[in-house]
Structure 1
Amino acid sequence: MSTKTVLITGTSSGIGLAAAVAAARAGWHTVATMRDTSRADALTKAAAAAGVADLVQVKRLDVTDSDSVTACVTEVVAEHGHLDAVVNNAGAGFVGTIEQHGMEKVRDVMEVNFFGVVELTRTALPHLRASGGRVITVTSVGGVVGQPFNESYCAAKFAVEGFMEALAPVAASVGVQVAVVEPGAVSSEFVNNVGLDLPALLAEAGPYAPALQGYVNHVRKSYGSHSAQTSEQAAAPVVEALTSETVPLRIQTSGWARDFVAVKLGDLDGSAVQTTMTGWLR
């Protein structure tokens, strides 16, 4: 039987990079994609250090460009003869509240975090049906619990979770398994890639400045605490979802993430989540 092939998006850093290396170590031929392949050095060095460089293939893929998605998937199937799994990992963060940023920002976040996931999943599904494969999507605990100053990001991640939850039984009827992986705080380049100028953001926050400062303090504490995982720790459940015989719909990457999501799933009137989130702003 030929080596299974997985396509992973957003592999230049963070969870995507770690998942690509770990998938290759598990024996998968890993097509590691990114929008800008000039940023592949960290991945190729990590793959070489792990002794799996021969199983990691870097390709360009921009999830917001349907032509790029189609071209990449077509190339992978032509080169390998099959596609056994897709890991939707590419994502973009954004911090701000709706009164103070335009609709363009909301649409940008949705394009990457939601529509890009939908586009790649749609394009890959015929090939995953043929292989009896699976779709693994890295979302966030922010796809379950709405978090302050993350309205656009959480909206996109909520949309992904709803899409995948609705798709899962339909995909299962044709032999494709679907799962979402929900990390909590991860010490990775994702936080840096949000591109925040905090002094400027606070200076422009107006009446929201005290709440925003409280949120910033909370985030700094969270990403420096024991609850924050490394990228490798967060990527491990992604690879387990690839390799296990069956996979649940929803997977949290840590005990903290499970506890956090559990509050929402048992919070019928929303009061427990609101109390927690209000505490983040103090």
Structure 2
Amino acid sequence: MSRFTDRVAIVTGGGSGIGAATARLLAMEGATVVIAGRRVEKLEEVAASVDGVIVPRKLDVTDRAAVTAAVDEVAAEHGRLDVLVNNAGIGPSGPADEVGDDDWDQMMATVLSGAFIASRAALPHLVQGGGNIVNVCSVSGIGGDWGGAAYNAAKGGLANLTRAMALDHAGDGVRVNAVAPTFTETEMTSGMGEDDDLMNRFMERLPMGRPAKPEEVAWAIAFLASHDASYVNGVVLPVDGGLSASNGQPRLG
């Protein structure tokens, strides 16, 4: 029997990148996966790309009422909810003195508030079956970046939200964990990949010498969401090729 047979999962930001890879993997391992996002055509492409049950659902995670309603409706339609993967996100928008109010608010609404609202709505359903939450954080939520003030703040908040919920809800039988990827080959980072100088500087910092693939992050998410990780709770797991093992000093020799 596959790890997720008869289980129901919601993956936000499921139309591309890490979210799409996660949805495919969970579906291939037996789950019914509801993928939520704003671009229906992308969601439908993901749903058609794998031999498994993936249900597209249009959703803007910044719409609090819609998120709450969607989570409740998924649980009602499928009779349960076992896994919530909070993956919706947007890219960095510059240093603090260049971030406008709208950019800041959009980042917080998408990355942090969207995950909070979805988690709050999911918790009563997850309690019923001993389910769990996996948040897609970032190495940018563990340490700072140049030019990423709002992104760092939102991802750092998501990392600590993960820890707080893990403490509060372990007694209810609900585990909460997160993954913290480094540079990953996704639609969001495609423009960065075209900048040879930037990529060379990234590769100098990544011990494995290459970006992550979305599937590599998805494997970590699936582990945390599975019974294989039944005693793993409150972890922000770096999926970073060894980046966070460094103290930042340059390579010698």
The answer to whether TM tops 0.5 is: yes
1:247 to partner: Cα distance? 2.5
Contact 1:227–1:256 (8 Å) recurs in 2: no
- The answer (yes or no) to whether the contact 2:43–2:57 under 8 Å persists in 1 is no
CA contact (8 A) 2:99 2:150 kept: no
Taking the aligned partners of 1:5 and 1:131, their CA distance within structure 2 comes to 11
The residue matched to 1:247 in structure 2 has which SS? coil
CA deviations on 1:188-230 (whole Å, 9 max, x unpaired) are 11214xx89x9xxxxxxxxxxxxxx9xx943564279733011
Counterpart Cα distance in 1 of 2:113 and 2:200: 30
Separation in 2 of the partners of 1:171 and 1:75?
22
| More moved, 100-109 vs 167-176 | 100-109
**Could you say what secondary structure the match of 2:55 adopts?**
strand
Per-residue Cα deviation, 1:2-32 (whole angstroms, up to 9, x for no partner): 7110111001100000000001111111111
Contact 2:144–2:152 at 8 Å: present in 1 too? yes
Give the Cα–Cα distance (whole angstroms) in 2 for the partners of residues 108 and 57 of structure 1.
26
Please tell me whether residue 79 in structure 1 is matched to residue 77 in structure 2.
Answer: yes
The answer for the alignment partner of 1:144 in structure 2 is: 142
Instruction: State the shift of 1:103 in Å.
Output: 2.1
Structure 1 length as normaliser, TM-score? Answer: 0.78
3-state secondary structure, aligned to 1:3 = coil
Q: 1:148 to 1:254 in 2, by over 3 A?
A: closer
Letter in 2 for 1:72: A
| Aligned counterpart, 1:13 | 16
2:157 is matched with 159
Q: Name 1:35's counterpart in structure 2.
A: 38
TM-score normalised over the length of structure 2:
0.86
SS for the counterpart of 2:133 is: strand
- Can you give the 5+ residue segments of structure 1 that lack an aligned partner in the other structure? 199-212, 264-271, 277-282
- Identical pairs, percent: 29
Unaligned 5+ segments in structure 2 are: none
**What is the alpha-carbon distance in structure 2 between the residues aligned to residue 100 and residue 255 of structure 1?**
31
Alignment of 1:211-226 (within 5 A): 217-219=197-199, 221-222=201-202, 226=209
Paired position in structure 2 for 1:171: 169
Instruction: Give the corresponding residue for 1:256.
Output: 242
Once the 2 structures are TM-superposed, how far is the Cα of residue 34 of structure 1 from its aligned partner? 1.0
Give the deviation of 1:145 after TM superposition: 0.7
Letter in 2 for 1:250: V
| Greater helix content | 1
Instruction: Choose from 129, 143, 148 the match for 1:131.
Output: 129
How many Å separate the matches in 1 of 2:59 and 2:109? 14
Assess, with a 3 A threshold, how the Cα gap between structure 1 residues 83 and 99 changes in structure 2: closer, same or farther: same
Aligned-CA RMSD value: 2.6
- SS state at 1:114 partner: helix
Rg: which structure is higher?
Answer: 1
Query: 2:231 corresponds to which residue?
Result: 246
